[in-house]
Amino acid sequence: MQNSHSTAIQIFFLLHDIHFGGGGERVTVNLANHFVGIGYPVTIISLSCFKPSNIFNIDNRVKVEYLNFNFENGFNIPQKFESVFKVRKYFRHFSDKTVVLGIGTYPSLLLSLLPKSENIKTIGCQHSTYTAVKHVWSLLRKLFFPRLNAFVSLSEQDLPKLKKINQNSYVIPNSVSLFPEKPALLENKIILAIGRMDYNKGYDLLLDVFEKLTLSHPHWCLRIVGDGPLKKKIISRVESSSLKDRVEIYPPTSLILEHYLQSSIYLMTSRTEGLGMVLLEAQACGLPIVCFNCETGPSDIVVDNKNGFLVECFDIEKITNKISILCTDYDLRIKFGINAIENVKKFHPEVINSKWEKLFKELFQK
């Protein structure tokens, strides 16, 4: 149904690479699909080059445009300078009411460098922890983010720090759009982990934990779904260890729901998180979660001993014991799973999207 009021504002998303397949890209697509569905004109601008496929299903009413930077060999300094001018040129002649969301630190920085305009409202969106932004990027954030019309954090923990930089800072968590008709049965002896294979996601710790768990639960297996810079290293460790027959590694897929529904426990050993889309999706599928209580997202989602277990960061012994309890106790898995489905309702798209719409309208009323 078209919203007659919404079309007064057009919405743009600026991000690094729409084909990247991470949480930020997933959130972008979810929001874009929602807002185009209720009548907003929506465009996704990707700094990257075009690729013929995307693991997320983008509504065909959403425009996707590319600024054609090649990231095969990284994103060098000359490209970064060029991106400033390309983004400024892109938005130079906008006369309609426009909201632009920068997804992540660098796209948000590019938006902060746009000339001030009555027609264009810029919103920076943080998709990692406040402390994950370091060195020169931290300084640039402090210098330029006050120029943004608003800044959005995923978690309450980071809000006070962001308000010191930009007073117009708000908390709007990610919504979850994965709602199966029936939850996971929690009968298969499968522990699931999903995410980009980089240092922050803690896959080295994940394998340490699972290796320890197999001593008491040899019939359980670990399923990892993801890609990233550490993939070869992870595969090499699995292949050369006792885990070879107990760890399954799958590439990112648009059919992620099946992986959730085939599993019985969701395990996360991240060193840092923004909010953790996978935790929300796991809860929507009725999975009990065991994870480290890292900065900043897990404690906003997992209630210890109610819908999962929150464990002090990097306590391998304790997190292994908590998983062991769930491996042994089917009734507890079911109880946590029911509570998880109830808890995730506060992250329902209707609840979260209404917060975004309210913010868009407030920016033009100020």
pLDDT at position 7, please? 52
Amino acid at site 284: A
The first and second tokens of residue 271, run together, are 């060193």
Nearest-angstrom CA–CA distance, 211 and 200: 20
Q: What is the DSSP letter of 173?
A: P
Q: Say what the pLDDT of residue 143 is.
A: 97
Tally of CB atoms within 10 A around 295: 20
What's the confidence (pLDDT) of residue 4?
44
For position 47, what pLDDT does the model report? 96
Tokens representing 27 are 């959130």
- Characterise 133 by phi-psi region: left (phi > 0), alpha (psi -120 to 50), beta (else): beta
Domains of the chain: residue spans and CATH? 6-175+348-365 (3.40.50.2000), 190-346 (3.40.50.2000)
d(CA 305, CA 291): 12
How many other CB atoms are there within 10 angstroms of residue 167's CB atom?
10
pLDDT computed for residue 2 by the predictor: 42
Chain-centroid distance, C-alpha 3: 28
What is the rounded CA–CA span in Å between residue 173 and residue 155? 6
Euclidean distance between CA atoms 14 and 11, whole angstroms: 10
Using only C-alpha atoms, the chain has a radius of gyration, in whole angstroms, of: 21
CA 236: distance to chain centroid? 27
Q: What distance in Å separates the CA atoms of residue 15 and residue 93, rounded to the nearest whole number? A: 20
Question: Which parts of 172-266 fold into alpha helices (H)?
Answer: 203-213, 231-239, 256-261
Structure tokens at 79: 């490209």
Residues of the chain with pLDDT under 50: 1-6
* Sequential DSSP letters for 250-286: E---S-HHHHHHT-SEEEE--SB-SS-HHHHHHHHTT
* 281: region left, alpha or beta (phi > 0 left; psi from -120 to 50 alpha): alpha
SS3 of 295, please?
strand
pLDDT per position as a tens digit, 138-160: 999 999 999 999 999 988 888 99
Helix (H, G, I), strand (E, B) or coil at 323: helix
Cα 117 from chain centroid (whole Å): 30
Q: What is the pLDDT of residues 180-189, one digit of tens each?
A: 999 999 999 9
Name the token pair of 254: 């648009």
